[in-house]
Each structure stands twice: as structure tokens, then as C-alpha cells.
């Protein structure tokens, strides 16, 4: 864990949090909301560490006892609320970890901070129980709710919390982060950043996952040969993808980036904005062979396939319809 200076993007939120510390206007309750992997937990834990830092500045010193405990995830006054069942946070868990505990004063810090990841999983009963603490908190309590769906929170909770919406991070910043911090090669960083769609967490996962690297290679093999695929080859690819149902969204995203590249190159003849720059020869070839109408049709078919699969339409049939559209010129 590092300080605010090491966080990519989210400048407005960081400014707000630093200002709250500087002016002594720290709220008792916050909602950090954003897509999975957008950095909610990183922002909340950095804020918690800074609030408890013995130096009392707007950046954690990372050297004092409090910062060391926070970095080691064993700070007695920074409580990460957890839950046993994967899809729900029960009233008992909120009572035991927050409501009963908050009555005890901080052990060694100015604040007692509770971070609740996946807060949207709290049952209505759990939220109602927490509401009383949010309405009448002890002066030392700070509660941070992290959620990818703020609308799942009771309106009464929402209205009593400072809401911080995490925006997507610009692709160029994500790419820079991957290249400088994780030493990902330029070409791969471009793909991972596009795939992540503004989420540093998702970009990091893609960059360090061997599985994603294999998915990219398999998808590119299919795409490069898309123009010349025979029906039996089509059937083989569908069979291959049927064995990878868990990853189908990743495959479809990569297919989308590819055909957007083909369309963009056809329209502009420029390489700079392409995701798959290194495959320019294949992209040029497909751009010359396909019409604008055909490319629009494929991009539309990809969106339809995503909708069909979410609606549990027959997996192989949905892919067959997609590949037949891709084979058309």
C-alpha cells in the first residue's frame, strides 16, 4: 500500500479527501462507488492509513507505527468487515463487526475506521441496523461503504453518506501504469488498457494473467483467419470456445477491439489509435476486403451475442450466428 501520490487517476476524489483532512471536516460516513477493479478499496485504505498516521498530514508517512500496522493489515483501529456467505452480508455480521465494536473507543488512534467492501450485499435488515450507527456515530467513528452498485443501498443510508463516484481512468494513464510499474511491453499494454476500459484493477489482472494472454492469442488466431474459415473450421472454433464459457466475455471484447480497429483503419488509414498495431498487415487486409456495412453488421452482431448469452440462449447457437456474420463479406 502506498500514498495518494501513487494512485492513478481519481484526482477530484483525492482532492476532496485531502481537503477534508486539512480542514478537519472528515465525514463519519462515505460511499465509494465504482465498477469492480476501479480502485475503491485502494482509495479507502489509503484514506484510512492517512487519517491514522501519527504525522497528521494529508499523505501517510509510511514510517510511523500506525502506518506500518496499516500496511501490514493488522491495525486495531482499521477494521475490514468480512462476510462468510459469498452473496450476502448478514445483520449478525454487521452487528458483531461494526455496531457492537464501535462502542469501544479506539485503541491507539484518533479514529476507529470501518471499511465494508461489497456493501451492496448487505441485507435490508443489515443496512437498517447500520443506519442507526450512521445517524448517531461516536465522534471517532468513520464508516466507508465500498460498492459497485450504490442504488442497492437504502435511500436513508445514501442521504447520510458523502458519496464519491470513481470515474474510469484514461486509457493512456492505464497504459503508462502498466509499462512503468509492471514493465509490460508497449504492444501488450495497449491491449490490456483497452480491455480494462478504465479500470486499473482489471488492467493489472489482464497484464499479470497467463490465462488472459492465452485468450488473446487464441482470439487473434481466430480473427486473423476469419475471412477464409471453412464451415468445418468454424465448428471446431465453436467447440473450442464452448470449453471456455467462463472466458467468453473476454473473447467477445477482443473480437470487438479487432473489428473496431479494422473499421477505424478503413476510415482513417491511420495506425496510431489502433489497439492491435502489431497486426497491421492483417488489419489492412481485412479493411480492404470488408465493406463499412459489413463491419457495422459484425460489431452489431457482437453486441447481440453478449445480450443473447446473458439471456441464456443456447451457447453454441449464439456463437454460430456470430461466426456466420463474421464470415460474410
Query: What are the pLDDT digits (tens) for 163-199?
Result: 999 887 777 777 887 787 778 778 778 877 777 666 6
pLDDT computed for residue 1 by the predictor:
53
Among 5-9, 155-159, 248-252, top mean pLDDT goes to 155-159
Distance CA 211, CA 227 (A): 26
First to last CA, the chain: 51
Is residue 190 helix, strand or coil? helix
Percent of the chain with pLDDT over 70: 95
Tell me the pLDDT tens digit for each residue of 303-315: 898 888 888 888 8
Its pTM surpasses 0.85:
no
Distance CA 119, CA 180 (A): 33
Looking at CATH, the fold of the domain delimited by 4-165 is given as Rossmann fold (3.40.50)
Domains 4-165 and 209-327 share a fold: no
Q: Where are the domains of the chain?
A: 4-165, 209-327
Please state whether beta strands 141-147 and 29-33 pair in parallel, antiparallel, or not at all (unpaired): parallel
In angstroms, how far apart are the furthest CA atoms of the chain? 71
Looking at CATH, the fold of the domain delimited by 209-327 is given as Zinc Finger, Delta Prime; domain 3 (1.20.272)
Amino acid at each position: 500500500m502506498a500514498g495518494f501520490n501513487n494512485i492513478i487517476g481519481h484526482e477530484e476524489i483525492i482532492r476532496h479527501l485531502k481537503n477534508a483532512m486539512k480542514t478537519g471536516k472528515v465525514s463519519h460516513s462515505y460511499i465509494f462507488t465504482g465498477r469492480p477493479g476501479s480502485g475503491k478499496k485502494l482509495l479507502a485504505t489509503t484514506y484510512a492509513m492517512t487519517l491514522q498516521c501519527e504525522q497528521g498530514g494529508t499523505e501517510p508517512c509510511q514510517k510511523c507505527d500506525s502506518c506500518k500496522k496499516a500496511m501490514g493489515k493488522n491495525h486495531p483501529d482499521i477494521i475490514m468487515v468480512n462476510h462468510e456467505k459469498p452473496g450476502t452480508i448478514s445483520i449478525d455480521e454487521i452487528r458483531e463487526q461494526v455496531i457492537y465494536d464501535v462502542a469501544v473507543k479506539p485503541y491507539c488512534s484518533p479514529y476507529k475506521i470501518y471499511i465494508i467492501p461489497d456493501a451492496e450485499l448487505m441485507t435490508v435488515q443489515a443496512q437498517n441496523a447500520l443506519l442507526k450507527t450512521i445517524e448517531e456515530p461516536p465522534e471517532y467513528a468513520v464508516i466507508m461503504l465500498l460498492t459497485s452498485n450504490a442504488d442497492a443501498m437504502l435511500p436513508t443510508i445514501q442521504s447520510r453518506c458523502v458519496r464519491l463516484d470513481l470515474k474510469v481512468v484514461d486509457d493512456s494513464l492505464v497504459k503508462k501504469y502498466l509499462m512503468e510499474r509492471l514493465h509490460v511491453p508497449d504492444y501488450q499494454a495497449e491491449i490490456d488498457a483497452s480491455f480494462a476500459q478504465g479500470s486499473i484493477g482489471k488492467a493489472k489482472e489482464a497484464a499479470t494473467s497467463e490465462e488472459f494472454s492465452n485468450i488473446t492469442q487464441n482470439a487473434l488466431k481466430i480473427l486473423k483467419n476469419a475471412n477464409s474459415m471453412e464451415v468445418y473450421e468454424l465448428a471446431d472454433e465453436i467447440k473450442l470456445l464452448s470449453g471456455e464459457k467462463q472466458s467468453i466475455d473476454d473473447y467477445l471484447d477482443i473480437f470487438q477491439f479487432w473489428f473496431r480497429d479494422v473499421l477505424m483503419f478503413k476510415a482513417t488509414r491511420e495506425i496510431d489509435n489502433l489497439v492491435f498495431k502489431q497486426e497491421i498487415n492483417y488489419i489492412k487486409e481485412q479493411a480492404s476486403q470488408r465493406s463499412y456495412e459489413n463491419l457495422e453488421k459484425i460489431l452489431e452482431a457482437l453486441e447481440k451475442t453478449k445480450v443473447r448469452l446473458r439471456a441464456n440462449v443456447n451457447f453454441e447457437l449464439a456463437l454460430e450466428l456470430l461466426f456466420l456474420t463474421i464470415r460474410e463479406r
